[in-house]
Amino acid sequence: MLKRLIVIVTAATFFSSSLTLAQSKKPKEPDKFPPSPLEITTPDPLLPPSRDKQPLTQAEMQKLKVALDQLNQEAAAKLQAGDKVGAFEIWNRELRLRRFLGALAEVQALSRVGAIAWNQNDRQELQYITQRLQAIQKQAQPKKTDSQKNVDVELLRSLGEAYQNVRLPKLAVEVYEQVLAVVRQQNPAALVETLKTIGEVNLSWFDYPKAATTYEELLGLATSKGDRLNELAYLKQLAYIYEQAKQPQQAINVQNKLAEIYVNENNLTEIPELKLAIASEYESLAKENPSLLQQAFQNYQEAYTTAWQLQQYVRAGEALQKLITLYRFQGQTDEALQASQILVQIEERAVNFYGMMQAYDQIGQLHLERKEYPQALTAFQKGLELAQQIKHQETYFTGQIEKLSKTNF
């Protein structure tokens, strides 16, 4: 009996301690991503048995390249057939073997498959490819004792493209900036193209401050060379960047340079749109500094005048409407009314029935503000005629007319 009791107590103690131990150990969390299939070292039948002892010969590399191109086609066919898992298994095998053809060939393949993985929204595959790209980038970094001549620029460019394909713009720019440091010293002809690439990457990912810095340098290079075509292109790009970055003063500075070039070259066609943009930027600045509102007025007037002379009636109407809005904001009802009546004529020349209807509505509202009810009624009646022609806002104008008809004026 005593022996049995000892056994029971011992067993109870064991189970109790086991339970305590189990509770004290937290379950191990699984890795977010399993080990990369790109790092598998199992011998592959496409490689010669001696591959660990000596590099592949040119003939062996060519044979392997043909086989890997075939693997790529097989993977694409599987993906087309709906077998995504099978496709990436083949592509991963291809990518493992591509490294035997050199870093450049491997990066180019990683870039191609990375673009496919992004389109397929395969986060795991993107993680594998990114890890491998970063490993190659680390290996490609020159040592402190190395000169810039030892930097593999072609490999770095391919890495930059690959990072773009897997949507890692910061890493792409980092690599392109290394390229930039080399070409500044060794290949000035490649400087512009490298800067363009950096600017485009920053711009595509809405990094406006860095994009602006790059395009300002490009502008300086074009100006120093007297390259008017690219100077205009970079000024336009900078105007867009500063507009998007909500930097009105910088935008105005660039737009004024553009306007000066167009005037000097007697290319007035671009002026109305440019003056509209400048005026809009001054309006933004006037919120903090009301004295700048006069600059907005002036540029809207120049936009209107130039557009009218060039028979750009749509642009002229747009500028005049902006002026009317400013007049009303300033409480200048007389000027707003006069401009609105001119606007009707402009919209008529532009054959813009909707614009004419809106202008008559505006005239009616301005007359109402001045308590000139007969004139308001006339304007709304003309607006209704146009509304009936274009089958739009008929109820609105009918309502306005009914309200005025009940007014004892």
Using alpha carbons, select from 342, 391, 348, 392 the residue that is nearest to residue 362. 342
* pLDDT for position 146: 57
Mean pLDDT by 10 residues, the chain (409 residues): 37 38 44 79 88 83 97 98 97 97 97 98 97 96 66 96 97 96 89 97 96 98 94 97 97 97 94 97 96 97 97 97 96 96 96 97 96 95 97 96 84
Q: At 393, is the secondary structure helix, strand, or coil?
A: coil
Helices (H), ranges, 81-227: 84-98, 103-119, 123-140, 153-165, 169-186, 191-204, 208-225
Residue 74 neighbours by CB under 8 Å, 6+ apart: 90
210 in Cβ contact with 229 (< 8 Å): no
Q: Which of 378, 377, 380 is nearest to 393 (CA)?
A: 380
* pLDDT on residue 186: 84
195: its two tokens = 């800067």
- The neighbour count for residue 103, using CB atoms within 10 Å, is 18
CB 215 within 8 A of CB 241: yes
3-state secondary structure of 268: helix
Token representation of residue 91: 């592509």
Q: Length of the chain, please?
A: 409
User: Cβ distance 274 to 255 under 8 Å?
Assistant: yes
Separation CA 215–CA 231 (nearest Å): 10
User: What amino acid occupies position 195?
Assistant: L
DSSP secondary-structure letter at 254?
Answer: H
Residue 391 phi/psi, 5° resolution?
Answer: 55, 50
Which one-letter DSSP state was computed for residue 57? P
Sign (positive/negative) of CA torsion 379, 380, 385, 390? positive
φ and ψ at residue 47, rounded to 5 degrees: -100, 145
pLDDT score of 28: 47
Angle ∠(130,145,194) on CA atoms, nearest 5: 50
Residue 99: exposed, middle, or buried by beta-carbon count in 10 A (0-12, 13-18, 19+)? middle
Distances in Å between the alpha carbon of 88 and those of 66, 84, 113, 164? 19, 6, 9, 20
Helix axes 123-140, 103-119, angle to 10 degrees: 160
What is d(CA 249, CA 252) in angstroms, rounded to the nearest whole number? 5
